[in-house]
């Protein structure tokens, strides 16, 4: 079966930063399981079904990527798979504290479980699902930062026209 890594997250929505991590992880692991957390407390923009559909569509031709969702503790989900490690991306030092706490808690819950961190590539270090949603909600362009399908889904969510917004006319 080979070495399997679990890449958990909210993926609300998936960005090219996430995709970059998965693609680089495939150089190291035989299989990557993208595990979408069902966490209604975070009040996600996209339902878990919508997030699953977007991630599955992107990786439909990549058999080494499996896409799934999970409820409850990540360590319990990992135990049901044959994954050897949790994979997380780090963009900046500001991510470190949150990630350090999460990795430490997961290791305390399951002492055999390690978290492996990969630095997000320089092209995407400023990209987060949160800022993507904010920019899209306010009508800004997020093309090139998320897959085209995600761009379309964001526009549908925020009911934005596909065409450019009207220019402000200062002489009005």
Interface with ligand PNS (CB under 6 A), residue from 37, 55, 83, 85: 37
- Cα dihedral value 143, 149, 139, 48, nearest 10: -130
**Residues with a known catalytic role:** 18, 42, 91, 129
Closest CB to ligand PNS among 39 and 53? 39
Q: Does 48 bind ligand PNS (CB under 6 A)?
A: no
Q: Does 102 bind ligand PNS (CB under 6 A)?
A: yes
- Are 12 and 157 within 8 A, CB to CB? no
CA end-to-end span of the chain, whole Å?
67
Q: Does 28 bind ligand PNS (CB under 6 A)?
A: no
Q: Does 74 bind ligand PNS (CB under 6 A)?
A: yes
CA dist 106 and 76 (Å) reads 10
Closest CB to ligand PNS among 21 and 74? 74
Interface with ligand PNS (CB under 6 A), residue from 57, 92, 105, 119: 105
**Minimal distance, residue 151 CB to ligand PNS, in Å:** 20
Question: Going by C-beta distance under 8 Å and a sequence separation of 6 or more, which residues neighbour residue 36?
Answer: 8, 9, 10, 11, 48, 51, 52, 55, 67, 68, 69, 70
Residues in the site for ligand PNS, rule: CB under 6 A?
8-10, 37, 73-74, 102, 105-106
């Amino acid at each position: 079966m080979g070495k399997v890594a679990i890449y958990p997250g909210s993926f609300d929505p998936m960005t090219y930063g996430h995709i970059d991590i998965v693609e680089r992880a495939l150089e190291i692991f035989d299989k990557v399981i993208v595990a979408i957390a069902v966490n209604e407390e975070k009040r996600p923009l996209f339902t878990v079904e919508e997030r699953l559909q977007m991630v599955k569509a992107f990786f439909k031709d990549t058999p080494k990527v499996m896409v799934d969702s999970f409820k409850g503790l990540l360590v319990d989900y990992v135990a049901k798979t044959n994954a050897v490690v949790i994979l997380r991306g780090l963009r900046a030092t500001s991510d470190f504290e949150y990630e350090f706490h999460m990795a430490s808690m997961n290791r305390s819950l399951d002492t055999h479980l390690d978290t492996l961190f990969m630095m997000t590539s320089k092209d995407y270090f400023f990209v987060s699902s949160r800022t993507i949603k904010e920019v899209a909600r306010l009508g800004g362009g997020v093309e090139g930062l998320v897959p085209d399908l995600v761009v379309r889904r964001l526009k549908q969510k925020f009911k934005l026209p596909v065409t450019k917004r009207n220019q402000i006319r200062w002489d009005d």
